[in-house]
């Protein structure tokens, strides 16, 4: 019994002194297994109880419990102290220097062409139009044939384009999508759509021409649609886009897919009709092409031209952006030069 008590005392001393040496919480677990675990010396000693006499047992048992309690308490204390110290160290090390200047956010800008397209879309949405878009690779059939431009038509020269095969090409206008809309509507009315999108033509690039540009075309088909509806719609559009003082002027023109056809002028956005450099002294600037949908185009798309009529128009967002923002060279719109584009970031 004496020897066991001495052993217990030594065990407690060794365990506590080793615990004091431990300086990190991650090393505590090992100590705990060694001195308080199932295979610990303490456990082994307590099993020796059986070899003691009746009257010695309670005394020894009490002593074992004392030691266990002392070790457990010391462990818990050490654990708390070390965890607190580690936390304090982490807090001290992980502080961020809030005096560092923040990283500047690069503010993007909507491209002027997109901006003009969005504005025009909003205006026509407000007049009850829908917006549709479709493929840039089209068939000769939709791009030309159904728009009254048969294979040998001289007007094809003006739109001589990028062919992928005899039948496939990059569309030269967004009109094929309007034809597709008429087909999809299967003779139902009314049709009121605008079609924004990229188009392609074989052209020499210069300050006012590009082989790739964007177009917004509109189409209205119904019963009793007249030229006055066309003019009224475009006048409302012009006022919404350029202000209530705007007026439109129609001049006779020719497109294969409209009859009659017209060029549509707006009061010069620069001099408001006085005559200046921008409008070459006329007070007017051409902004749209338009007309009554050619009866043959209606018939080919399933709308009996004896019963239905419609108007259509087309415009170039580039030209409108150039007038609005005073851009002198169309190529600036395609070069993605940040010095140019950054000017369109909102303040």
Of 218, 254, 256, nearest to 236 (Cα)?
Answer: 218
191 close to 181: Cβ distance less than 8 angstroms: yes
Give the range of 18-26, 131-139, 212-220, 226-234 binding ligand 2NL by CB under 6 A: 212-220
Q: How far apart are CA 239 and CA 55, in angstroms?
A: 112
Burial class (CB in 10 A: 0-12, 13-18, 19+), 112: buried
Tokens of 186: 């299967």
In angstroms, what CA-CA distances link 310 with 8, 65, 90, 149, 216?
107, 102, 75, 19, 17
Interface residue with ligand 2NL among 46, 161, 178, 233 (CB under 6 A) is 178
**78-111 residues labelled b (16+ CB within 10 A) or e (exposed):** bbeebeeeeeeeeeeeeeeeeeeeeeeeeeeeee
Interface residue with ligand 2NL among 313, 317, 327, 330 (CB under 6 A) is 313
Closest residue to ligand 2NL using C-beta atoms: 314
Question: Is residue 140 part of the contact set for ligand 2NL (CB under 6 A)?
Answer: no
| DSSP string of 9-23, one letter each residue | HHHHHHHHHHHHH--
241 close to 199: Cβ distance less than 8 angstroms: no
Residue among 249 and 272 whose Cβ is closer to ligand 2NL: 249
Q: How far apart are CA 107 and CA 21, in angstroms?
A: 57
Of 196, 139, 130, nearest to 170 (Cα)?
Answer: 139
Question: Is residue 255 part of the contact set for ligand 2NL (CB under 6 A)?
Answer: yes
83 close to 22: Cβ distance less than 8 angstroms: no
Give the range of 11-19, 75-83, 89-97, 312-320 binding ligand 2NL by CB under 6 A: 312-320
Residue among 140 and 217 whose Cβ is closer to ligand 2NL: 217
Interface residue with ligand 2NL among 129, 257, 303, 308 (CB under 6 A) is 257
Question: Where are the alpha helices (H) located in 247-305, listed in sequence order?
Answer: 295-300
What residues between 316 and 345 interact with ligand 2NL by CB under 6 A? 316
Residue among 8 and 199 whose Cβ is closer to ligand 2NL: 199
Residue among 8 and 293 whose Cβ is closer to ligand 2NL: 293
Question: Is residue 293 part of the contact set for ligand 2NL (CB under 6 A)?
Answer: yes
Give the range of 92-100, 153-161, 240-248, 310-318 binding ligand 2NL by CB under 6 A: 310-318
Question: Is residue 196 part of the contact set for ligand 2NL (CB under 6 A)?
Answer: no
Interface residue with ligand 2NL among 12, 46, 258, 309 (CB under 6 A) is 258
Give the range of 173-181, 202-210, 227-235, 276-284 binding ligand 2NL by CB under 6 A: 173-181
Q: Which residues bind ligand 2NL (CB under 6 A)?
A: 175, 178-179, 215, 217, 219, 255, 257-258, 289-291, 293, 297, 312-316
């Amino acid at each position: 019994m004496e020897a066991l008590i001495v052993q217990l005392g030594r065990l407690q001393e060794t365990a506590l002194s080793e615990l004091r040496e431990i300086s990190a919480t991650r090393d505590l677990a090992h100590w705990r297994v060694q001195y308080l675990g199932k295979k610990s010396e303490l456990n082994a000693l307590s099993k020796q109880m059986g070899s003691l006499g009746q009257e010695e047992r309670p005394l020894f048992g009490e002593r074992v419990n004392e030691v266990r309690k002392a070790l457990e308490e010391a462990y818990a204390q050490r654990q708390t102290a070390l965890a607190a110290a580690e936390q304090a160290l982490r807090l001290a090390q992980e502080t961020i220097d809030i005096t560092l200047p923040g990283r500047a956010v690069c503010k993007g800008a909507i491209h002027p062409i997109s901006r003009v397209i969005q504005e025009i879309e909003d205006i026509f949405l407000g007049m009850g139009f829908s917006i549709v878009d479709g493929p840039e690779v089209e068939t000769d059939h939709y791009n030309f044939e159904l728009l009254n431009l048969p294979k040998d038509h001289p007007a094809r020269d003006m739109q001589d384009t990028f062919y992928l095969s005899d039948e496939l090409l990059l569309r030269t206008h967004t009109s094929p999508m309007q034809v597709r809309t008429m087909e999809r509507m299967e003779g139902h009315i009314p049709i009121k759509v605008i079609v924004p999108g990229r188009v392609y033509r074989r052209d020499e690039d210069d300050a006012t021409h590009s082989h790739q540009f964007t177009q917004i075309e509109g189409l209205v088909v119904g019963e009793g649609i007249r030229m006055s509806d066309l003019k009224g719609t475009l006048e409302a559009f012009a006022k919404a886009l350029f202000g209530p003082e705007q007026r439109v002027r129609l001049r006779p023109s020719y497109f294969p897919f409209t009859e009659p056809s017209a060029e549509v002028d707006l009061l010069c956005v620069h001099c408001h009709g006085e005559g200046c450099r921008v409008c070459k002294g006329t007070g007017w600037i051409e902004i749209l092409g338009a007309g009554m949908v050619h009866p043959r185009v209606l018939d080919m798309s399933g709308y009996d031209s004896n019963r239905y009529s419609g108007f259509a128009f087309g415009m170039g967002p580039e030209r409108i952006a150039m007038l609005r923002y005073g851009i002198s060279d169309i190529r600036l719109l395609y070069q993605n030069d940040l010095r140019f584009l950054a000017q369109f970031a909102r303040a």
